[in-house]
Amino acid sequence: MRIDIVSLFPEFVEQCAAFGVTGRARERGLLSLHGWNPRDHAGGNYRKVDDRTFGGGPGMVMLVEPLRLCLAAMRAADPLRPHLVYLSPQGRRLDQARVRELAALPRLALLCGRYEGVDERLLQAEVDEEISIGDYVLSGGELGAAVIVDTVARLQEGALNDAASAAEDSFEDGLLDCPHYSHPVEHLYGTVPEVLRSGNHAAIARWRRQQALARTWLRRPDLLEGRELSRADRKLLDEWLREQDDPQAGPQGERPVR
């Protein structure tokens, strides 16, 4: 997959993908990143990329012409047509389902705004989709772009050393992840749940599924609202809920917030 980053600070996004899973994905040739700076396409002695906003008020707007030229150079660098995303709080909120779709594209381009944002005419003429990474304000779209690069990079075939780990992550089946434990079994902070050391793989899978359902119910009930649980999942969650009502039954865990 090829990702083009159009930004006043393209190196910032590239650096975000220089380490760990994303760094390895790039070394393995699963992902290539290409930075494009509109300042390289700005005229005049000052290479001006921003100006005051029409209508008055505080803040500057990214100029349409340096961005138009920059995007033309970016598009011309490869015959594949990129899906061009503008990162902004006005966009559709990113979730793992959209990440999966973006990860399957052969070429993605990420346009990052600074100041008050980009001249609306450029967005109308060039952008395929606006994406927000959440309901908060950033100083620029670069962190949003870095989030998209990271999330799609790890889904490239061969990016994760253990192929199964991607499928078991939070959200991959619309649920939060189960808790994880490692050595030592006994620690000042607690003991590893017995079932995980039982060697009973069916019981372990069942416990993990139940924990994932329970944590989702506790922490993110909104994720359960819009969906029908399978009979098996419903049974697991109901069993866990009964255990919460009856302090005698089952191991104690997190309590629901009421």
- Contact set with ligand 4GT (CB under 6 A): 87-89, 113-114, 117, 132-134, 136-138, 140-141, 144
The residue (of 10 and 140) whose beta carbon lies closer to ligand 4GT is 140
DSSP single-letter state for residue 1 = -
**How near is the Cβ of 141 to ligand 4GT at its closest, in Å?**
4
Nearest CA to 142 out of 17, 238, 2 is that of 17
**How near is the Cβ of 140 to ligand 4GT at its closest, in Å?**
5
Q: Catalytic residue at 78?
A: no
Q: Catalytic residue at 154?
A: yes
Q: Catalytic residue at 169?
A: yes
Q: Which residues are bridge partners to 50 per DSSP?
A: 62
Residue nearest to ligand 4GT (CB): 113
Active-site annotation holder among 2, 24, 68, 89: 89
Pairing of strands 83-93, 186-187: unpaired
Q: Catalytic residue at 89?
A: yes
Token reading at 254:
């997190």
Under DSSP, is residue 167 helix (H, G, I), strand (E, B) or coil? helix
* Residue carrying the six token digits 């008055």: 56
Active-site annotation holder among 169, 172, 177, 239: 169
Active-site annotation holder among 65, 116, 130, 243: 116
Active-site annotation holder among 26, 107, 114, 154: 154
**How near is the Cβ of 108 to ligand 4GT at its closest, in Å?**
15
Q: Which residues are bridge partners to 73 per DSSP?
A: none
Burial class (CB in 10 A: 0-12, 13-18, 19+), 161: exposed
Instruction: Show which residues are catalytic.
Output: 89, 116, 154, 169
